[in-house]
């Protein structure tokens, strides 16, 4: 569906991406992991058109989009949720979410339908509708940001660290939302430093380092690669950097279903109800 072929791109100072190959198949969740500054967020920025692609090719459903403007790319169904500070702080939550539907502003009926859908999926949009977005806490803002991008019912959602600043409840909420999107057929490409969460949710994983893709494959195979785990996933037998009290350095498989994998926890406000197909 979305393919990057030897993409080279960078900011003023130099090239951050040095030949990136990446493929997202339809209906998958792909999680990009890697050290800080490896170019993960830059990949998302190049895809959404916020950063010009220097060399190489980006195609969406076979059509090149590397030289398109951000709004053209958005129209094609690629929506990005940036890392931080993306809400308009002096606008209300409701207005912020409405802004997400800017491209479909002429179709009132569709706008209303989408708004209802978003309200149902992300309860905070209705609960705090009149509050200024600037008065929300970090986690609440995150939910509103994702809600806003759902207004366009995108084919692909690019999420830059959705877990950032979220408490366990909200984290479960966001993770549940991503799972819902996946089930309703949306393709997801996310960058995540909470790698256990990210790779736990994802069907595919990509490891980036130094502006290149170092490894790509099914999420499980990346999770289980011992060298990758030690270098980027925060620990594997023998090398775990954050030593924990009690001497248990590495998660065993039996613990994977434990408290901190999100799949096993479904808080009440997300509920177990099957989500309606979007749009």
Partner 1 sequence: MTERESAPKSTGPLRRIPRIHLIALACLLALLLYPVINPWEPYPQGVLLLGFLLAVQASAWNIISGYAGYVSIGHSMFLGLGAYTAGIMAVRWDVNPLLSAPVGGVVATVIAVAIGSVVLRTRGHAFVIITIAMLLAAQIIAVNARGLTLGSDGITLPLPFWGRDYQNIPFYYIFLVMVVLTVAFSAWLRRTKFGAGLVAIREDEGKAASIGVNTTRFKIVAYAASAFPIGVAGSVYAYYLTFINPVGSFAILGSVTIVLACLAGGRGTLYGPVLGAFVVNLVSEAANVYGGGDSARVLLFGLALMVVVLFLPRGLLPTVESWWRRRHPADVEFIDQKGALEARAARSGPDLPSPAVSRAARASDEAGAGRVLLEVRGASKRFGGLRAVDGADLTVRQGTITGLIGPNGSGKTTLFNLVTGGMTADAGEIWFDGRRIDRLRPWVRGHLGLGRTYQVTRLFKDMTVQENVVAPQPDARWRTMVAGAVRGHEAERARELLDIVGLARFADEPAGSLSFGQQKLVELAQVLMLEPKLILLDEPAGGVNPSMLGVLTGVIRELNAAGMTFLIVEHNIPLVLELCDPIVVFSRGRPIAEGPPGTIREDPAVMDAYLGEDFRLEPAGPAGPPAGEGVR
Q: Does 13 bind partner 1 (CB under 8 A)?
A: yes
Show contacts with partner 1 in window 96-125 (CB under 8 A): none
Shortest separation between residue 251's beta carbon and partner 1, angstroms: 4
Binding-site member from 63, 259, 272, 274 for partner 1 (CB under 8 A) = 259
Is-contact 70 245, C-beta < 8 A?
no
Residues 238 and 199: their CA atoms lie apart, in Å, by 21
Residue among 257 and 277 whose Cβ is closer to partner 1: 257
| Residue 17 and residue 206 in contact, taking contact as beta carbons nearer than 8 Å | no
Q: How far is the CB of 29 from partner 1 (least distance, A)?
A: 18
Contact between 3 and partner 1 by CB under 8 A: the answer reads no
Question: Looking at 62, 63, 108, 254, which residue binds partner 1 (CB under 8 A)?
Answer: 254
Is 274 among the residues that bind partner 1 (CB under 8 A)? no
> Which of 116, 120, 167, 224 forms a contact with partner 1 (CB under 8 A)?
167
CB of 252 to partner 1, least distance (A): 8
Residues 224-253 that bind partner 1 (CB under 8 A): 230-235, 239-246, 248-251
Identity of the residue, 186 or 194, whose beta carbon is nearer to partner 1 in the bound complex: 194
In this complex, which beta carbon is closest to partner 1, that of residue 103 or of residue 244?
244
First to last CA, the chain: 20
Question: What part of residues 122-161 is at the interface with partner 1 (CB under 8 A)?
Answer: 131, 135-140, 161
Q: With respect to partner 1, which residue has the nearer C-beta, 97 or 152?
A: 97
* Binds partner 1 (CB under 8 A): choice among 29, 38, 74, 175: 38
Q: At what angle do helices 138-150 and 108-121 cross, to 10 degrees?
A: 140
Q: Which of 23, 155, 196, 214 binds partner 1 (CB under 8 A)?
A: 196
Measured in whole angstroms, the distance separating CA 111 from the mean position of its chain's CA atoms is: 24
- DSSP character at residue 89: T
Q: Please say which residue, 195 or 222, places its beta carbon nearer to partner 1.
A: 195
Helical residues (DSSP H) of the chain, grouped into ranges: 40-47, 70-75, 93-99, 108-121, 124-127, 138-150, 168-183, 195-201, 219-224, 226-232
Count of residues that interact with partner 1, criterion CB under 8 A: 71
The strands making up 156-160's β-sheet, listed across from edge to edge, are 78-81, 156-160, 187-191, 29-33, 204-209, 212-218
Quote the tokens at residue 264: 């096993």
- Token duo for residue 62: 């076979």
């Amino acid at each position: 569906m979305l393919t990057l072929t030897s993409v080279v791109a960078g900011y003023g100072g130099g090239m951050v991406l040095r030949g990136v190959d990446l493929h997202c198949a339809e209906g998958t969740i792909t999680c990009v992991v890697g050290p800080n500054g490896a170019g993960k967020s830059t990949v998302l920025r190049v895809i959404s058109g916020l950063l010009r692609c220097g060399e190489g090719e980006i195609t969406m459903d076979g059509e090149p989009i590397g030289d398109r403007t951000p709004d053209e790319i958005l129209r094609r169904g690629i929506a990005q949720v940036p890392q931080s500070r993306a809400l308009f702080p002096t606008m209300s939550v409701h207005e912020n979410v409405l802004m997400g539907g800017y491209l479909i502003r002429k179709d009132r009926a569709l706008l209303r339908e989408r708004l209802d859908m978003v309200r149902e999926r992300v309860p905070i949009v209705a609960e705090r509708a009149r509050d200024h977005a600037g008065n929300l806490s970090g986690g609440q803002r995150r939910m509103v940001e994702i809600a806003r991008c759902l207004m366009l019912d995108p084919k692909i959602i690019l999420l830059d660290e959705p877990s950032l600043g979220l408490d366990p409840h909200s984290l479960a909420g966001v993770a549940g939302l991503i799972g819902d999107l996946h089930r309703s057929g949306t393709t997801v490409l996310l960058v995540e430093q909470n790698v256990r969460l990210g790779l736990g949710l994802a069907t595919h994983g990509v490891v980036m380092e130094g502006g290149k893709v170092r490894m790509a494959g099914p999420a499980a195979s990346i999770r289980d690669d011992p060298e990758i785990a030690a270098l980027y996933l925060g620990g594997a037998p023998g090398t775990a950097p954050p030593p924990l009290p009690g001497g248990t350095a590495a998660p065993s498989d039996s613990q994977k279903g434990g408290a901190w994998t999100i799949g096993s926890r479904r808080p009440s406000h997300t509920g177990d109800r099957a989500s309606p197909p979007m749009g």
